[in-house]
Amino acid sequence: MQQTFYKFHGIGNDYIYFDCFDWTPKRPAVLARKLSDRHFSIGGDGIVLILPSKVADAEMRMFNADGSEGRMCGNAIRCVAKYLYDFKGIHKRDFTIDTAAGIKKLHLVSRSWDKEHANLFTVDMGKPKFDPARIPALFEGDRIVDHPLIVNDTTYRVTCLSMGNPHCVVFTEDPGSLDLEAVGPYFETHPAFPERINTEFVRVCGENQLEMRVWERGSGETLACGTGACAAAVAAVCNGFCQKNSEITVHLAGGILRVVYTGKTVLLTGPAELAFTGTVEV
């Protein structure tokens, strides 16, 4: 069975998207593992299904490259809104997308000169959750900020929170020198994180400027992570490196995301781009 796919990315965080308004794959986890292979298939960080919704403009389901289902992706959700604008003809400025982490609101910031293509969105990512039980993370107390954690015989200072999915933020002097392929899996599968964890290694590189590398559960190192950028910005505020209600620029391998943490919600702004379309046997 041949189906049209759309390859979108948010600063290099790339997924394979399917319009599932009239069709849905029977085994999306298997499909994600198959199609995400960058040598023998299309290649990507996973797949995203765009489905009809009774409570929002669309529903988003995402599956990581290993087939595990994710609850939220700040880069993928912008691409879903772009698909609705560019391909479904929903030409409006404000969108709602239903996700496993709840309904998210998006605002179209900029579009092409002919107004036919959406380029840049701001996503209201909601309020971060610090309660260890809601991350989940097996720590004592009501929040995990600058807390010691032994990972593979090395002690790290970590700040953990949920942005709809779990994150562990580590501030370090030189993220670029890390052997992330070696250390990332130890964080992801650490016993303190019963549902595994996304880990951000972050350097404060200027006033409201962060440099970040990310190891995503189920996908490994990716060029960008929207929820991870949000987690890094919130953690920077909690540790006194940045201020609330100010724009924090997060530099990732794939490009730049901009985050504002108000204390009540987190606003994420970034591009959504189409790489190519095609058909694939599913």
Active centre residues (catalytic): 73, 225
Q: How far is CA 235 from CA 105, 211, 218, in A?
A: 23, 13, 22
E strands along the chain, which residues? 2-10, 13-19, 46-51, 58-64, 69-70, 94-99, 102-111, 118-124, 144-151, 154-162, 166-171, 198-206, 209-216, 220-222, 247-252, 255-261, 266-271, 273-281
Q: How far is CA 123 from CA 18, 26, 94, 177, 244, in A?
A: 21, 30, 10, 31, 17
CB 101 within 8 A of CB 126: yes
Strand 198-206 and strand 166-171: pairing? parallel
Of 31, 18, 81, 36, nearest to 216 by C-alpha is 36
State both tokens at 1.
Answer: 């069975």
DSSP bridge partners of 2 = 281
DSSP bridge partners of 96 = 105
What span, in angstroms and rounded, lies between the C-alpha atoms of 159 and 230? 13
State both tokens at 47.
Answer: 């797949």
State both tokens at 153.
Answer: 């015989």
E strands along 112-261, which residues? 118-124, 144-151, 154-162, 166-171, 198-206, 209-216, 220-222, 247-252, 255-261
